[in-house]
Structure 1
Amino acid sequence: MRCVFVQFQCAPGKTYEVADAIYDREIVSELYSTSGDYDLLAKIYIPDDQDVGRFINERLDEIPGIQRSLTTMTFNAF
């Protein structure tokens, strides 16, 4: 499993709806509201045999209310 973090920028007033839709998909390990340029931060474990971009695009980026996302790949833990 590969761990990635995805930040979501939501349309004004849509953050809670987006968060509910993300949870409904049952693919995030953790989901946080954040301050700054993005509204939500999700920790996701993606199976090794899955393409990260396709996985996120097909399962999350199509959620209504998401204006922008930023995916951060992770590597070895120290």
Structure 2
Amino acid sequence: MPTAIVMIDTEQALIPEVATQIAAVPGVSEVYSVTGEVDLIALVRVPDHRDFASVIADTMSKIPGVLKTRTYLAFREFSPTELDEAFDIGLEG
């Protein structure tokens, strides 16, 4: 499933409200309030890469309080389960 990591700058006073509204957008699987250079990070998972436009550009970026978004598309996922399976290939005892 195509995944995007979206860095979101918001009006400081509206971080909780913006996070709640973003979390309710279909296609958004998680929203995190974070420290550092951005206020929120959202994970967006959609059935088709063309759906990113409606979720991110048409919906998330237009939520009141959102000042700027930066989107990173994921090429490959590495998780402990997948790494274990990759290293177990052909290693039957």
Normalised to the residue count of structure 1, the TM-score between the two structures is 0.85
- Other-structure match for 1:17: 17
Q: Which amino acid aligns with 1:56?
A: I
Root-mean-square deviation (CA, aligned residues, Å) is 1.7
Identity in percent = 32
CA shift in 2, pair 1:49/1:31, >3 Å: closer
User: Which aligned pairs between 1:43-62 and structure 2 lie closer than 5 A?
Assistant: 43-48=43-48, 50-62=50-62
Runs of 4+ more than 4 Å apart: none
CA shift in 2, pair 1:28/1:51, >3 Å: closer
CA shift in 2, pair 1:45/1:38, >3 Å: same
Larger Rg: 2
* Number of residues of Structure 1 aligned to a counterpart in Structure 2: 78
Partners of 1:19 and 1:77 lie apart in 2 by 24
Normalised to the residue count of structure 2, the TM-score between the two structures is 0.73
From the two aligned structures, give the one with the greater helix fraction: 2
